[in-house]
Chains A and B, each alone.
Chain A
Amino acid sequence: MKKFKILEDIAIADIAIEAYGKTLDELFENTALAIFEESANIKNISENEKKTININSDKIEDLLYDFLSEILFLKDTYSIIFKKSKIKIEKKGKKYNLNAELFGEKIDRNKHELRNDIKAITLHMFKIEKTKEGYKDLVVVDV
């Protein structure tokens, strides 16, 4: 299963991501991976820094928006560029709970092949859909 693709006809000045997953955990991981790959070539990023995210939300879309926004917050606040994430989403009562572990490295302009410094996650056309194989989403990011 393809992890994600970049849609070119949605917003030409920005980046539109369509990610896929058999489960919600995988969908979130693959959307995060798209963010990581748009930010840098992940091949030469080590995994010596780890950050965790724990958030709750009533709606699964809001959980995704807040999770992706948190990645950008961590990137700027700690100057870390990420390579991968491990995600566990559980439904507790009416709320969704997300636990994420992000792995990456302190940014080094001489070592890393940097790409776009993503500014923010937009809510333009933002959606999560159920598909035959599982789930897909649409996320437009501002660069």
Chain B
Amino acid sequence: MLAGNPEIQLLYARWSYCYVANLRQDKWGYGFPIGGVAAFDVDTGVISPGGIGFDINCGMRLVTTNLTFKDIQPKLKELVNEFFQSVPSGVGAKGFVKINQSQFNEMMVDGSKWCIENGYGWKEDLERTEGNGKIDWADPSKVSDKAKQRGINQIGTLGSGNHYLEVQVASAANIIDEELAKKFGIHTPDQVVIMVHCGSRGFGHQIGTDYLRIFDSAMKKYNIPVLDRELACAPFASNEGQDYYKAMACAANMAFANRQVILHRIREGFSKVFKTSAEDLEMHMIYDVAHNIAKVEEHNVDGKRKKVVVHRKGSTRAFPPNHPELPPIYKKTGQPVIIGGSMETGSYLLVGTKKAMEDTFGSTAHGSGRTMSRKAAMRQVRGDKLQKDMESKGIYVKSASMSGLAEEAGFAYKDINEVVESLKIAGISKPVVQLKPVGNIKG
């Protein structure tokens, strides 16, 4: 196991079965490292909102089409402009799904299932989503009215920062494992796919904020030393711990629903621009996977099978072939893993491995990670210039924020190829396809 932030180790060392795997130390964030995995015994360990992140169930979704780059090239701008309108992004954006409070409560409980029942998607989307897009232990009574007010208008929005909706191409040269690529639905040279990166929006952020304050007080009650208030935690079995776990599940379900209704918009957009139904365009989901979440899972710890609450913050679940939680379509292949690079350099589709199960609680990295602060990136390039430069390289990008665009410039991130290579060497996931961007909506 790799060592994480020493403060986390110190703080959590007092709890039994604490294991921290730091999958990436370059993109350093606040508190718990981004790319961190920590597992705590369900009876004697803790749960920590800081070990999950404010953007609960921030995650990735990947969708195929049967179109090639040649098919979409003449209509790329129209397509990107369509998504820029239909999938709102940026500060304070409101979504297109209008629901009342009781419907919102249903969504918190049912996640993606709520969307399918309300006409936003296909039934097959569910088994292609981590945990079927529905976490069973969600309880809306553990969510504050504030979080409910803040989130109800945001369903179907991307957010900002590094969140995006991207049109990508899988060129023949970038297929690393042809057999697996075919099984995941990528079978034609220059096939077009769509990737979405977003989370639970203000709803999850408010739940994170509310419980950070609750846990901040609970630390005293449970006599837990405070080394960094952002690392506040409470015993998993305590009332506070269980309340957060149930509220977090509501945010996770909202995030699955958010990405599900965005998928609905993507299918509508392609259908409109290409005057063909989404079914005829074979717009199947490959997978949807969370990278900011905590879940109770069974793992081998010191030779014994243990139930642990696995925290993944900026870390993706990466289960191997034959894992009982995988749906029938991916039982033999292993779980698809989606890792986002910068908007200029491309992303990867990978697959989970047995080694990840043994070494990192079935987890891998989630992205390439920043190497430069946002301000430093802005000093190097202006958003409008970057937009033009990217267009000359064949990437058409639209953003709600020009300064935000500059902050996300490719040079501000580590080389995704090196990150993926290191995961391959560590054996915790296996690359399948590299995907190159051609169109991007940046939040």
A75 on interface, CB distance cutoff 8 Å: yes
Which of A65, A109, A116, A124 is B31 in contact with, Cβ under 8 Å?
A124
Q: Which of A9-17, A25-33, A83-91, A93-101 contacts B (4 or more CB under 8 A)?
A: A9-17
A53 on interface, CB distance cutoff 8 Å: no
Interface pair A122/B31, CB less than 8 Å apart = yes
- Nearest residue in A to B229 (C-beta to C-beta)? A123
B403 on interface, CB distance cutoff 8 Å: yes
Bound CA span A109–B370, Å: 27
Annotate B198-210 by CB proximity to A: 1 below 8 A, 0 otherwise. 0001100110110
| Sample (5) of A-B pairs whose CB atoms are under 8 Å apart | A75-B91, A76-B153, A79-B94, A107-B91, A143-B160
Interface pair A77/B149, CB less than 8 Å apart = yes
With A79-B94, A117-B92, A117-B160 in contact, is A11–B230 under 8 Å at CB? no
Annotate B81-103 by CB proximity to A: 1 below 8 A, 0 otherwise. 00000000011111000000000
Interface pair B27/A72, CB less than 8 Å apart = no
Bound CA span A72–B398, Å: 25
By a CB distance below 8 angstroms, the chain B residues around A102 are: none
By a CB distance below 8 angstroms, the chain B residues around A122 are: 30-31, 54, 212, 230
Instruction: Indicate the size class of the contact surface on chain B.
Output: 35 or more
Q: How far is the CB of A140 from chain B (nearest CB, A)?
A: 5
Interface pair A12/B27, CB less than 8 Å apart = yes
Query: Which one of A62, A117, A142 has the highest number of Cβ atoms from chain B below 10 Å of its Cβ?
Result: A117
Interface pair A120/B54, CB less than 8 Å apart = yes
Query: Which one of B209, B213, B400 has the highest number of Cβ atoms from chain A below 10 Å of its Cβ?
Result: B209
Interface pair A14/B29, CB less than 8 Å apart = yes
Annotate A1-42 by CB proximity to B: 1 below 8 A, 0 otherwise. 000001011111111000000000000000000000001100
B34 on interface, CB distance cutoff 8 Å: yes
A114 on interface, CB distance cutoff 8 Å: yes
By a CB distance below 8 angstroms, the chain A residues around B404 are: 114-116
Bound CA span A65–B53, Å: 17
With A76-B202, A119-B54 in contact, is A109–B400 under 8 Å at CB? yes
Interface pair A123/B216, CB less than 8 Å apart = yes
Q: How far is the CB of B122 from chain A (nearest CB, A)?
A: 30
Q: How far is the CB of B377 from chain A (nearest CB, A)?
A: 10
By a CB distance below 8 angstroms, the chain B residues around A142 are: 29-30, 53-55, 205
Bound CA span A142–B54, Å: 8
Interface pair B27/A115, CB less than 8 Å apart = no
Q: How far is the CB of B383 from chain A (nearest CB, A)?
A: 10
By a CB distance below 8 angstroms, the chain B residues around A80 are: 92
Which of B150, B205, B230, B370 is A123 in contact with, Cβ under 8 Å?
B230
With A73-B146, A73-B150, A73-B206 in contact, is A117–B29 under 8 Å at CB? no
Bound CA span A135–B375, Å: 25
A69 on interface, CB distance cutoff 8 Å: yes
Which of B91, B150, B206 is A115 in contact with, Cβ under 8 Å?
B91
- Nearest residue in B to A108 (C-beta to C-beta)? B92
Interface pair B90/A72, CB less than 8 Å apart = no
By a CB distance below 8 angstroms, the chain A residues around B205 are: 72, 119-120, 142
Which of B149, B161, B209, B371 is A116 in contact with, Cβ under 8 Å?
B161
Bound CA span A125–B27, Å: 18
B interface list, Cβ under 8 A from A: 27-31, 34, 53-55, 90-94, 146, 149-151, 153-154, 159-161, 201-202, 205-206, 208-209, 212-213, 216, 228-230, 232, 369-376, 400-404, 407, 443
Interface pair A13/B370, CB less than 8 Å apart = yes
Which of A12, A72, A76 is B373 in contact with, Cβ under 8 Å?
A12
Bound CA span A9–B369, Å: 15
Bound CA span A40–B212, Å: 27
Interface pair B92/A143, CB less than 8 Å apart = no
Bound CA span A140–B373, Å: 13
Q: How far is the CB of A48 from chain B (nearest CB, A)?
A: 16
Q: How far is the CB of A93 from chain B (nearest CB, A)?
A: 20
A64 on interface, CB distance cutoff 8 Å: no
- Nearest residue in A to B203 (C-beta to C-beta)? A76
Q: How far is the CB of B7 from chain A (nearest CB, A)?
A: 11
A47 on interface, CB distance cutoff 8 Å: no
Interface pair B34/A13, CB less than 8 Å apart = yes
By a CB distance below 8 angstroms, the chain A residues around B229 are: 123-124, 126
Bound CA span A140–B28, Å: 13
Which 4 A-B residue pairings sit nearest by Cβ, starting from the closest? A124-B30, A123-B229, A76-B202, A117-B160
By a CB distance below 8 angstroms, the chain A residues around B153 are: 76-77, 79
With A12-B373, A15-B374 in contact, is A113–B402 under 8 Å at CB? yes
